[in-house]
């Protein structure tokens, strides 16, 4: 009987862990906006946007257009704050329209800072991972969209230390969208990160490329999903008892 009771308890724990694994391993959910209509980067009040427990500040965008392509600028790139309804991660959605035809290139360098709000109720919160998702990226022929990103726990200055995380997303013709998203986790978590992003759109010799925008998410410790799973697991255990 003792063995049977132990087996039942083990089964309960395994069930909770399986449910947690399924939920945590699920694909990203739908974007839910929290800050109203998108605002141009250059029109952000105090160059800041608050989303949930996070402040996004110090936006800086520099762009170049080659071969007749239009250069990106902060008047034509709009941002909106929101949340992923599956993971509970807060983040930003960037709205833009960057295009490159044959012989054309578009390059953009984007920087911003992400901080946990200085409030006692967020005293234990930390940022521990970052993810990027390209939105409506397309390419034909030898055109390509590339988006690289490094994340630091400090302003890098002239001699950058090793980054906390490095991400890379891309879109080429016939790649089936396999590289539109990337993510990285860093431990221990931090309360503030500096994001440096480099995006290039090239039409190639006989092709074209386009990018409509991208999402940027940052999770924290404790995670909303993790807390929900712990509560759900406790309910299952109480029911079993």
Model confidence pLDDT, tens digit, residues 149-192:
999 998 777 677 899 999 999 999 999 999 999 999 998 999 99
Measured between alpha carbons, how far is 131 from 87 in angstroms, rounded to an integer? 12
Reply yes or no on whether the pLDDT at 11 is more than 70. no
Reply yes or no on whether the pLDDT at 13 is more than 90. no
Measured between alpha carbons, how far is 229 from 109 in angstroms, rounded to an integer? 39
Which residues are bridge partners to 40 per DSSP?
A: 78
Q: Looking at residue 56, what is its pLDDT?
A: 98
Phi and psi (nearest 5°) for 145? -115, 125
Nearest to 125 by CA among 185, 81, 190: 190
Nearest to 79 by CA among 42, 41, 105: 41
Q: Looking at residue 155, what is its pLDDT?
A: 74
Q: Looking at residue 22, what is its pLDDT?
A: 36
In the chain, what percentage of residues exceed pLDDT 70?
A: 80
Instruction: Match 């509560």 to its residue by tokens.
Output: 231
Q: Looking at residue 220, what is its pLDDT?
A: 75
Mean pLDDT of 25-34: 75
Phi and psi (nearest 5°) for 139? -155, 145
222 vs 9, more confident:
222
pTM reported for the whole predicted model? 0.81
Structure confidence at residue 221 as a pLDDT band (50, 70, 90): confident
Are 218 and 117 a contacting pair, CB within 8 Å? no
120 vs 5, more confident:
120
Mean pLDDT of 39-57: 98
Q: Looking at residue 5, what is its pLDDT?
A: 32
Q: Looking at residue 38, what is its pLDDT?
A: 98
């Amino acid at each position: 009987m003792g063995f049977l009771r132990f087996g039942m308890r083990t089964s309960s724990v395994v069930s909770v862990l399986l449910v947690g694994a399924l939920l945590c391993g699920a694909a990203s959910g739908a974007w839910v906006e929290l800050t109203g209509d998108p605002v141009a980067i250059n029109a952000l009040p105090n160059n800041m946007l608050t989303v949930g427990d996070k402040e996004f500040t110090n936006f800086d965008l520099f762009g170049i257009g080659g071969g007749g392509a239009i250069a990106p600028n902060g008047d034509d790139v709009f941002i909106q704050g929101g949340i992923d309804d599956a993971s509970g991660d807060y983040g930003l959605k960037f709205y833009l329209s960057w295009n490159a035809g044959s012989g054309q290139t578009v390059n953009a360098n984007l920087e911003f800072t992400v901080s946990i709000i200085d409030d006692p109720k967020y005293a234990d919160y930390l940022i521990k991972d970052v993810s990027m998702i390209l939105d409506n990226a397309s390419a034909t022929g030898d055109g390509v969209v590339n988006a690289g990103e490094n994340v630091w726990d400090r302003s890098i200055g002239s001699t950058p230390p090793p980054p906390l995380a490095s991400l890379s997303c891309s879109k080429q013709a016939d790649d089936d969208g396999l590289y539109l998203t990337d993510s990285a986790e860093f431990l221990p978590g931090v309360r503030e990160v500096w994001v440096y992003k480099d995006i290039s759109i090239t039409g190639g010799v006989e092709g074209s490329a386009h990018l409509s925008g991208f999402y940027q998410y940052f999770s924290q410790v404790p995670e909303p999903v993790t807390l929900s799973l712990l509560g759900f697991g406790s309910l299952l255990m109480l029911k079993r008892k």
